[in-house]
């Protein structure tokens, strides 16, 4: 059932088992006692290959996916109605034991509205349905060829361990083996050479130094900065997707618990850590918080364990009073995406929707690499926007693309065809204007294979932003305009402006270009009074006919 942009999905919880040395053990997301014992002497046949040659880029979750991987183990781990929804616009790849089980699953799909034309099957009798943890990691080599990185899974589950090999064969792409024991639930990357995990990665690889692990992450995945953090959840699984998630290159969502929760300080510490880091685009992360219940309330709120799949985001729901608030957080943080709530009685804090699904990177994606302009910039007569645009499947970029779309000061959107300057690099410019200016922009591309892509991903709904002060607003003109005086020292935030101009219009802007005050004036005998400015640097602009005056204003309350 769909209403108000929300899907309600239902699933019954089930378990399954495998045999360990004549002993049947029920498997859960956590490592069982028997598995822990087995892991002490567990030997998996794993061959580390040389790393890829050339430039390597780890593909992020929000990039184009051709399919999503789920496993059937007598059930799917996720609601069939969710699979049906995903199948309408994306492939569904299901791991099954054999042809007989494929027939069973195909029948279930057919009875539940799954788009059968988008369904494929691979055979590997899965031990569990936690495809996130054992699925391959996808890379792009030289930004034109998708390949797979295999790693030793940190569970003694041999069929699950071999899924990366299975998928490489199925997709017909290169497979590289990286000897770093890991799990997908404890890994997130941004597509620009940055990734994060909890310190579980160190615990699982005690024979390697931290520096050796970092080197392998760089060689095989192209990770230049690897954030390894504490685990605030205290649920003993130590997977980062249980409490945090990259939503984009510059956005990270982190669970927030009430101050009464004994884990509160740990959650705030990890949020503070990310807020103090620069994203790969060169400026601080936007840290978004989503509220969970107090641990003592015994309520599950696995809201960060969501799945980004192309232009949709699927957020776990448990029936909590906080469910609606979580949806609202995602809607505010990810404008342009369709946000769906996914209900299941089986979701728990350390195991929900993200854990049981995994995207399969689009081998023919259209990729745009661009480092955006950001913040308050110095004045230039024009601002150059440069990007690399690559069609991984080899299909040519459509004539007249890529395009730069930009808007200055909430005006109309302008369109500029970007010029191919070298190889895959394209360039266009945004003209500098007089005064205080706010700019929004995005890049859009198409190829002859009907692939489209925007940068940032949602284009006009969530564009790149920057501001600048230009033209006649030179630094000296702020201080040398004696026709505009500001007094007294605005220590309380109250400002009086005096001008020799008889009438006109006065505006006050924050340093990033946001207008905070505007009013007309006519022969002010006592000056123009502005009150309640907060601490900061402002730009005061007075206009009268063809005369425009500027002053810098520092408020320190």
Q: What is the rounded distance in angstroms from the CA atom of residue 430 to the CA atom of residue 100? A: 60
Q: What is the rounded distance in angstroms from the CA atom of residue 175 to the CA atom of residue 486? A: 67
Sign of CA dihedral 221, 227, 233, 238: positive
Report which of 215, 187, 212, 217 is spatially closest to residue 199, judged by C-alpha positions.
187
Report which of 432, 443, 456 is spatially closest to residue 377, judged by C-alpha positions.
432
Q: Token pair for residue 354?
A: 């993200």
Q: What is the rounded distance in angstroms from the CA atom of residue 390 to the CA atom of residue 142? A: 10
Q: E strands of 321-434, at which residues?
A: 338-343, 358-361, 366-369, 375-377, 382-391, 403-408, 414-417, 419-422, 425-431
Under a CB-based contact definition with an 8 Å cutoff, are residues 88 and 62 in contact? no
Sign of CA dihedral 291, 295, 297, 302: positive
Quick one: how far is CA 247 from the chain centroid? Answer: 2
Sheet holding 225-229, edge to edge: 188-189, 194-198, 225-229
> Measured between alpha carbons, how far is residue 498 from residues 16, 293, 475, 503, 529 in Å?
79, 54, 20, 12, 9
What backbone torsions phi and psi does residue 436 show, to the nearest 5 degrees?
-90, 125
Q: Which residues are catalytic?
A: 355
DSSP track, 139-158: EEETTTEEEEEE--BSSS-H
Q: What is the rounded distance in angstroms from the CA atom of residue 537 to the CA atom of residue 550? A: 13
Q: Token pair for residue 134?
A: 């054992």
Under a CB-based contact definition with an 8 Å cutoff, are residues 187 and 195 in contact? yes
């Amino acid at each position: 059932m769909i209403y108000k942009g929300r899907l309600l999905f239902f699933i019954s919880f089930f378990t399954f088992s495998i045999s360990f040395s004549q002993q049947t053990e029920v498997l859960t997301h956590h490592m069982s006692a028997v598995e822990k014992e087995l892991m002490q002497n567990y030997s998996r046949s794993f061959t580390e290959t040389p790393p890829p040659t050339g430039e390597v880029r780890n593909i992020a979750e929000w990039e184009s996916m051709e399919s999503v991987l789920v496993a059937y183990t007598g059930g799917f781990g996720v609601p069939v109605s969710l699979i049906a929804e995903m199948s309408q616009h994306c492939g569904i790849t299901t791991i099954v034991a054999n042809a007989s089980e494929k027939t069973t699953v195909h029948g279930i799909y057919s009875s539940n509205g799954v788009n059968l034309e988008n369904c494929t099957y691979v055979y590997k009798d899965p031990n569990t349905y936690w495809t996130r943890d054992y699925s391959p990691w996808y890379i792009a080599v030289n930004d034109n060829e998708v390949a797979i990185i295999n790693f030793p899974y940190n569970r003694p589950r041999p069929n699950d361990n071999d899924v990366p090999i299975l998928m490489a064969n199925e997709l017909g792409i290169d497979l590289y083996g990286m000897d770093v024991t890991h799990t997908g639930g404890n890994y997130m990357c941004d597509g620009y050479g940055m990734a994060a995990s909890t310190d579980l990665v160190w615990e699982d690889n005690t024979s390697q130094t931290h520096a050796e692990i970092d080197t392998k992450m760089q060689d095989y995945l192209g990770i230049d900065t690897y954030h390894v953090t504490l685990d605030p959840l205290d649920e003993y699984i130590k997977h980062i997707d249980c409490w945090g998630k990259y939503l984009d290159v510059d956005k990270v969502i982190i669970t927030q618990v009430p101050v009464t929760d004994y884990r509160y300080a740990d959650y705030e510490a990890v949020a503070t850590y990310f807020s103090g880091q620069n994203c790969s685009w060169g400026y601080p992360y936007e840290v978004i918080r989503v509220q969970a219940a107090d641990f003592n309330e015994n309520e599950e709120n696995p809201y960060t364990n969501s799945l980004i799949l192309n232009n949709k985001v699927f957020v776990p729901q448990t029936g909590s009073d906080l469910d609606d608030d979580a949806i609202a957080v995602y809607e505010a943080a990810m404008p342009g995406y369709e946000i769906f709530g996914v209900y299941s009685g089986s979701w728990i804090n350390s195991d929900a929707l993200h854990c049981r699904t995994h995207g399969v990177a689009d081998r023919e994606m259209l990729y745009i690499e661009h480092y955006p302009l950001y913040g308050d910039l110095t004045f230039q007569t024009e601002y150059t926007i440069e990007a690399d645009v690559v069609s991984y499947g080899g299909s040519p970029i459509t004539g007249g693309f890529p395009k730069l779309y930009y808007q200055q000061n909430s005006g109309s959107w302008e369109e500029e065809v970007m010029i191919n300057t070298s190889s895959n690099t394209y360039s266009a410019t945004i003209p500098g204007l007089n005064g205080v200016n706010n700019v929004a922009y995005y890049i859009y591309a198409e190829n002859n294979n009907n692939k489209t892509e925007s940068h940032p991903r949602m284009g006009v709904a969530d564009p790149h932003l920057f501001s600048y002060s230009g033209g006649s607003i030179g630094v000296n003109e702020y201080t040398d305009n004696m026709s505009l005086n500001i007094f007294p020292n605005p220590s309380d935030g109250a400002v009086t402006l005096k001008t020799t101009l008889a009438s006109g219009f006065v505006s006050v802007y924050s340093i990033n270009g946001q207008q905070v005050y505007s009013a007309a004036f006519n022969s002010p005998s006592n000056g123009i009074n502005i009150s309640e400015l907060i601490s900061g640097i402002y730009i005061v602009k007075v206009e009268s006919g063809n005369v425009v005056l500027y002053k810098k204003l520092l408020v320190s309350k």
